[in-house]
Amino acid sequence: MAPEFQSKGALTQKCDVYAFGVVILELLSGLEALRYEFDEGGEGVRRISVIEMARQAVAGGGAGVRKWVDRRLKDSYPVDVAEKMVSMALECVEEDPEKRPDMEKVAVKVSKLYLESKNWAERICLAVDFSSSLAPR
């Protein structure tokens, strides 16, 4: 939930941008928005945010983002596009709503990143027209 919605109950389009950013981070990482772990130091439960984890990954550079992205994707994605997507998502989850981009700009950026990843897949001849499932039928 956007910070301004939590504190004031004000629902705006910037709240939607915030929520979209969180969803993008969840999809890229394969993690929940918030999770709780027992603190090894005996201080109870520690709250872990996908936003903070993404910020740490970006601070670690390309290798940090690559380690953070969902392992189930293996290396079937362009790392530079993933880095740009994480950066865009982090812009969407800025604390200050005025610093968040408009959804129109986000949509344009996502479209460009999609085309970059599609071009990458075509260059390496990665099959993208089918899907498979390991789930029982």
Q: Is the pLDDT of residue 84 over 90?
A: yes
* Cα separations in angstroms, 17 against 13, 62, 107, 133: 7, 25, 10, 31
Residue 128 has pLDDT above 60, yes or no: no
pLDDT digits (tens, 9 = 90+) for 13-53: 888 999 999 999 999 999 999 888 887 776 788 788 999 99
Tell me what the pLDDT averaged over the chain comes to. 86
- Global confidence as pTM: 0.81
Distance CA 72, CA 107 (A): 26
pLDDT at 28: 94
> In terms of C-beta density within 10 A (0-12 exposed, 13-18 middle, 19 or more buried), how is residue 68 classed?
buried
Residue 24 has a pLDDT of 96
CATH superfamily of 3-123: Transferase(Phosphotransferase) domain 1 (1.10.510.10)
What residue ranges do the domains of the chain occupy?
3-123
